[in-house]
Chain A
Amino acid sequence: QLQLQESGPGLVKPSGTLSLTCAVSGGSISSSDSYWGWIRLPPGKGLEWIGTVSYSGDTYYNPSLNGRVTMSVDTSKNQFSLTLYFVTAADTSVYYCSRRRRIGAGLYGIDVWGQGTTVTVSS
């Protein structure tokens, strides 16, 4: 069964760069019915979709992040990554990697989630 595991620094300085990686196990990142993404949960707030990347590298980002985000896929390592630039305290969150799967024609669901990793932005 497919599993996802986030990794990366738990502390990032303000104006710095947040970089996280998600390792995919139990399945291939190159599956044509899968889209890989990141979602975060700021403390005391609700879930926020950050963006999605396909195995072929097509990306979709949340415009609320004002162009500070990039995502990529490394098929050789079966993993994908998130980079968020110029971070502030508002970027402090639990970050989840996820799989959005095409369940049927035009039907989707985020059916697999990583356990989440806490990232704090502080000097």
Chain B
Amino acid sequence: AIQMTQSPSSLSASVGDRVTLTCRASQDIRSDLGWYQQKPGKAPKFLIFAASSLHGGVPSRFSGSGSGTDFTLTISSLQPEDFATYYCLQDYSYPLTFGPGTKVDIK
């Protein structure tokens, strides 16, 4: 199975900060990567597909980039509602695998 790693595992930031989260795959997955946001007690929310395409309704402050094995999720100006855990998911091949997540909390 393809292994996914994410860094950092957690970060503290302030409203208005630009934050960049990193996801790495253990092998080339082209651009078959999605990003998901999860808040405590809630179901995950779909943010980005194909590494860089924003899902409908997702604010434009979110952006994704990368291909092959290295990917990033950037939040250009962190808002109060963005404090959450972010997961990457490779859907290049079964079994689908999630990264361990990056928790973004308030500094």
Contacts and interface: CB of A to CB of B under 8 A. Distances in A.
A99 to B, nearest CB: 10
Contacts of B34: 108-110
A109 B95 contact: no
A49 B96 contact: yes
Contact of A113 (B44, B49, B95, B96): B44
Given A49-B97, A60-B95, 5 more contacts: A46-B98, A47-B87, A106-B32, A111-B46, A113-B44
A96 B38 CA distance: 12
Nearest to A45: B100
A62 B46 contact: no
Contact of A47 (B1, B44, B55, B95): B44
A116 B43 contact: yes
B50 A107 contact: yes
A103 interface: yes
Contacts of B53: 103, 107
Interface residues of A, number: 26
Interface of A: 39, 41, 46-49, 52, 60-64, 96, 100, 103-104, 106-111, 113-116
Interface in B52-107: 53, 55, 85, 87, 89, 91, 94-101
Nearest to B45: A113
A115 B95 contact: no
Given A47-B98, A103-B49, A113 B91 contact: no
B95 A49 contact: yes
A76 B87 CA distance: 34
B44 A46 contact: no
A63 B44 CA distance: 23
16 contacts: A41-B38, A46-B87, A46-B101, A47-B98, A47-B101, A64-B1, A96-B44, A103-B53, A107-B49, A108-B49, A109-B46, A110-B44, A111-B46, A111-B55, A113-B44, A113-B45
